[in-house]
Structure 1
């Protein structure tokens, strides 16, 4: 994978094609910086893809109500993530990319890579970001409403409101929140104060978590974990436009990708409706 963020798309027939079945993306290499243009972020400004593939069958496949089921005007996007465990080798490049971008201390891993045991007694790696739950238990327990959920499905923390009660940490069944015990690392060239979308630097006495690089999404850029994965394991997806893309430029019709590979969600029996989907390899049950 090239390190040039502005590398042009592949020569020749370099646009993702619209087909009767959706998006054909397997043989195409796109600019990493502009990959999310395929998700319709640029208001279809010159986009070669006709978006809006989600139909009743696709909605049933994704299992998501609410945003996708609305009639008329609503959120333009419903963000999610797909993690293809078949390709993950446990290198933790996603963790490192996230730590570097958000200036996190070594011990704070917003994307933790677990070693899970399969049905044969072997082990496999499993990255775990924030699940961006549709029914997040962390939200209602916050005494100052520092945790909130955007209309596009991102669960964020306002660092200027958080008082560090840690109630959200206790409520999260995925252990995806982290308390800032120490002063943050010195950060240079940060012209803006911390925001929920870009909480850098973290503030001592507050809680931090994966934000799916919410500051990048409006500009058509992929999260750091997605671009940082050398195996293309992690995809950012949109349940409304029904498209998912990884850092290698592999574009998928989201509903087909999930259905054809029997994607599952971690601890979905808890009723949190997580927006992170896993494609399993052999022997992985994620129970």
Structure 2
């Protein structure tokens, strides 16, 4: 963190980054965070999609700019009245891994780091293998939050578990406590560290990443604030992911954009959660790999051989 106040720095530039996006003439910039200006007439902004864009200062006008502490407070409160839930249809996954790529780009992750990973699974010797995406389960009874000594990881009212890397001391107690191996440690400087230098920390995207802290799946909380689906859900080309609000009993498919009843989807397709006997109460549900839309890659290779 720079010694000088980012709030003061942004005020001297006379620009505005609102809670929902940039206040000004460019409507395509949503939930942007300020970065150091690269020239006298332009400024670089970070969008909620994780892209750095340059805009003319003349397109922006002054407004109240939330401080880092205000952003952190908002990030801990979450979205009122919401209870987010994810459904993963294992019959649709063909290991395209576009969900992983989109997540890495969004959250400034190195090639070896994953907030979500697609695993090759086989439940028994004589059963057919299948692919299983595995993100953080965003448990309603999360063991990770209970062991953190500095309250860096926490559960929001809208169901999302987040990490504040401004508080994280890198003790890794949460990694040891998580039964789903859903967390990663930043052993090295994050991807494109110089590119993100000066970016105001966004707790809902956990960007910029910081060496010596923990990172994990966030359900793309910053995109949810903009009314968008998580990056992984939108990027999947095969309709694997459903995402929505359990309070509204509605989930939307990221590929077909079809919206359906969450409870009905789980009930009619024998949905389940991982390791229910642990009592963690995950908010990620799986639909079994029945009537798979695509053959397993190993089966394709065996057929051609």
**Offset of residue 101 of structure 1:** 1.1
Number of aligned residue pairs? 213
Maintained 8 Å contact 1:118/1:283: no
1:260 to 246, 253, 268: 268
Rounded to whole Å, the distance in 2 between the matches of 1:283 and 1:221 is 30
SS in 2 for 1:216: helix
Instruction: Give the Cα separation in 2 of the matches to 1:255 and 1:122.
Output: 27
Larger Rg belongs to: 2
Alpha-carbon offset, residue 116 of structure 1: 0.9
What does 1:118-267 align with in structure 2 at a 5 Å threshold?
A: 118-119=123-124, 120-186=126-192, 188=195, 192-248=199-255, 249-267=257-275
- Partners of 1:222 and 1:189 lie apart in 2 by 24
> 2:99 matched to 1:94?
yes
Task: Give the TM-score of the pair, scaled to structure 2.
Answer: 0.66
8 Å Cα contact 2:242-2:252 kept in structure 1: yes
Tell me, yes or no, if structure 1 residue 108 matches structure 2 residue 113.
Answer: yes
Is this contact kept in 2: 1:159–1:195, CA < 8 A? no
Q: Is contact 2:91–2:291 with CA below 8 Å preserved after alignment?
A: no
**Cα shift at 1:103:** 1.7
How far the C-alpha of 1:100 sits from its partner, in A, is 1.1
Q: Does 1:275 align with 2:304?
A: no
Structure 1 distance, partners of 2:174, 2:146, is: 8
Gaps of 5+ in 1: 1-5, 7-32, 34-73
* Stretches of structure 2 lacking an aligned partner (at least 5 in a row): 1-27, 29-48, 50-78, 293-305
Partner SS for 1:127: strand
> Structure 2 vs 1, CA of residues 190 and 203 (structure 1 numbering), >3 Å: closer, same or farther?
closer
Greater fraction of residues in helix? 2
